[in-house]
């Protein structure tokens, strides 16, 4: 069979280029000490930033949700799958973003991937009904794959041009915006860049959106629950306010469960609901999950949530001051995402192996997730880690650097 032979050859090429990925199967809940293949590991790799994935209140709420609403939703939201649990969750999400987005409304999605596809394709379609009009999507160069795929899909469906911009060089973006005659302009960015850990210049991007009549879509997958006094995310942290903001938060990271939402001005959200194919043609998430997420939102905004954000802040500060390499580079990130740039895939894999030998689980991130030649370790912290654990990781990494540099020099 041609397809089979081709797949074998392609897989062999991935293996040869050190790009083959593999699954590791965990036998325990998501904690800093999961059991994998019979071993208890020290994990610094999840996006469970507040340590809620295994929180007893959320386990109780999930059980309670199943008792109230059963196991499944039975259909897509617009057929019969929309439950009171989804509606309550959407109201709570909209009210969290209300100080930052006037007339806010939120729409709940099964995943962030689908929310991103939906927001971009639906909004890009605002202009596709008249032959003369057009849309430009300005998409950040380091945006998450799901935003990139949303842009690709929108470009395939509608009369849409794409401009890729570097968020470090906004003058270039402004130059392009100022000469753009497209009827509709969308600027699309991550809030916190998922592989570098830095924040997008959302204040400056919003000023450009205001000046050139654009919408600004912010994917805050790594900011929701973590950034801002109450954990509302990057709009709260930066104290922004505009009806041009389309905010996307995911609920499988700091919120500890699963799902995502788009929040925006209510007419725009109604339009997305009418047009977003991933929303219209997917079975609604089980209502029990929405029920548990409501509890998760309460935890995020509670004193406990605040305490966990403080603990995370201590861990990040310890890392930023104490993690000093002789040669390797850590990035100047103020978030829970702390990459170490290693360059070659081979080095990244060697470091991961040394870490594994020392009982750590920190995966190497390779292309195409990051640009070629910038393979890295992606260390992530959770409020469930202790300062002592971070210190131990730092000294282990320093020893590994010495070993790897010495073996490269031979
Ligand atoms: C994880 C992630 C997503 C996807 O969210 P899921 O709910 O996991 O599908 C989208 N954008 C960014 C930046 C992410 O990190």
Q: Which residues contact 203 (CB under 8 A, 6 or more apart)?
A: 238, 240
* Ligand 1 nearest-atom number relative to CA 109: 7
Last residue of a domain, one of 240, 272, 301: 301
Helices (H), 141-231: 145-157, 170-178, 202-211
Pair 276, 339 in one domain: no
Whether residue 280 is contained in a domain is answered as yes
Mutate to test the pocket of ligand 1, among 49, 53, 113 (most ligand atoms within 8 A of CB): 113
The answer to whether 105 touches 263, Cβ cutoff 8 Å, is yes
Name the pTM for this structure: 0.96
The residues lining ligand 1, judged by C-beta closer than 6 Å to any ligand atom, are 111-113, 116, 144, 146, 190, 194, 219, 221-222, 250, 252, 260
Distance 404 CA to ligand 1 centre (A): 33
Pocket test for ligand 1, best of 48, 108, 112 (most atoms within 8 A of CB): 112
The gap between the terminal CA atoms of the chain, to the nearest Å, is 46
Predicted local confidence at residue 75, as pLDDT: 98
With respect to residue 207, please indicate whether it lies within any of the assigned structural domains: yes
Name the closest-CA residue to atom 10, ligand 1. Answer: 112
**Alpha helices for 158-225 (secondary structure H):** 170-178, 202-211
- Cβ atoms within 10 Å of 164's Cβ, excluding its own: 14
Cross-strand bridge partners of residue 330: 340
Q: Tell me the residue range of the domain where 144 lies.
A: 56-301
Closest-CA residue, ligand 1 atom 5, reads: 112
The residue nearest atom 14 of ligand 1, judged by CA position, is 221
Report the pLDDT value the prediction gives residue 132, as an integer from 0 to 100: 64
Pocket test for ligand 1, best of 250, 251, 258, 293 (most atoms within 8 A of CB): 250
CA distances in angstroms from 100 to 112, 202, 211, 363, listed in the order given? 21, 13, 18, 36
**Same structural domain, 364 and 287:** no
Task: Say which residues have a Cβ less than 8 Å from residue 56's Cβ, sequence separation at least 6.
Answer: none
CA 400 to centroid of ligand 1, rounded, Å = 31
Closest C-alpha to ligand 1, atom 4:
112
Domain shared by 285 and 310, yes or no: no
**Same-domain pairing of 61 and 205:** yes
Mean pLDDT by 10 residues, the chain (410 residues): 96 91 92 94 97 98 98 98 98 98 98 98 86 86 96 88 94 96 96 95 98 98 98 98 98 98 98 97 98 98 98 97 94 94 92 96 90 93 98 97 88
48 and 60: one domain?
A: no
- Please report, for the domain that includes residue 343, its CATH number: 3.90.1150.10
**The domain boundary residue, chosen from 285, 301, 317:** 301
* SS3 assignment, position 164: strand
Q: Report how far ligand 1's centroid is from the alpha carbon of 149 (Å).
A: 12
Tell me, in angstroms, the distance from the centre of ligand 1 to residue 221's CA. 6
Question: Domain boundary at 301, 335, 362, which?
Answer: 301
């Amino acid at each position: 069979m041609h397809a089979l032979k081709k797949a074998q050859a392609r897989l062999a090429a991935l293996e040869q280029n050190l790009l083959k990925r593999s699954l590791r199967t965990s036998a325990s809940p998501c904690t800093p000490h999961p059991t994998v293949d019979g071993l208890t590991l020290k994990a610094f790799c999840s996006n469970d930033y507040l340590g809620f994935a295994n929180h007893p209140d959320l386990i109780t709420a999930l059980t309670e949700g199943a008792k109230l609403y059963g196991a499944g939703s039975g259909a897509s939201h617009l057929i019969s799958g929309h439950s009171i649990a989804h509606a309550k969750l959407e109201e709570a999400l909209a009210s969290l973003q209300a100080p930052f987005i006037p007339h806010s409304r939120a729409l709940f999605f099964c995943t962030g991937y689908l929310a991103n596809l939906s927001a971009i394709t639906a909004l890009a379609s605002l202009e596709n009904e008249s032959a003369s009009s057009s849309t430009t999507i300005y998409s950040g160069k380091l945006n998450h794959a799901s935003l990139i795929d949303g842009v690709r899909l929108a470009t395939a469906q509608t009369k849409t041009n794409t401009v890729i911009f570097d968020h470090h060089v906004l003058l270039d973006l402004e130059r392009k915006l100022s000469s753009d005659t497209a009827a509709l302009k969308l600027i699309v960015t991550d809030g916190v860049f998922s592989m570098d850990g830095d924040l997008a210049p959302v204040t400056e991007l919003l000023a450009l959106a205001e000046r050139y009549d654009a919408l600004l879509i912010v994917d805050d997958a790594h900011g929701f629950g973590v950034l801002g006094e109450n954990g509302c995310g990057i709009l709260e942290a930066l104290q922004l306010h505009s009806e041009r903001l389309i905010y996307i938060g995911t609920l499988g990271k700091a919120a500890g469960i699963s799902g995502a939402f788009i929040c925006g001005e209510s007419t725009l959200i109604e339009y997305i609901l009418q047009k977003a194919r991933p929303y219209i043609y997917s079975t609604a998430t089980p209502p029990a999950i929405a029920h548990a997420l409501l509890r998760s939102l309460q935890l995020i905004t509670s004193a406990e949530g605040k305490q966990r954000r403080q603990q995370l802040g201590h861990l990040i500060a310890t890392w930023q001051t104490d993690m000093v390499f002789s040669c390797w580079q850590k990035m100047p990130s103020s978030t829970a995402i702390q990459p170490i740039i290693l360059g070659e895939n081979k080095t990244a894999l060697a470091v991961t192996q040394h870490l594994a030998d020392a009982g750590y689980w920190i995966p190497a991130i390779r292309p195409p997730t990051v640009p070629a030649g910038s393979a890295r370790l992606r260390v992530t912290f959770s409020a469930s880690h202790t300062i002592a654990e971070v210190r131990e990781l730092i000294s282990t990494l320093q020893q590994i650097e010495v070993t790897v540099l010495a073996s490269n020099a031979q």
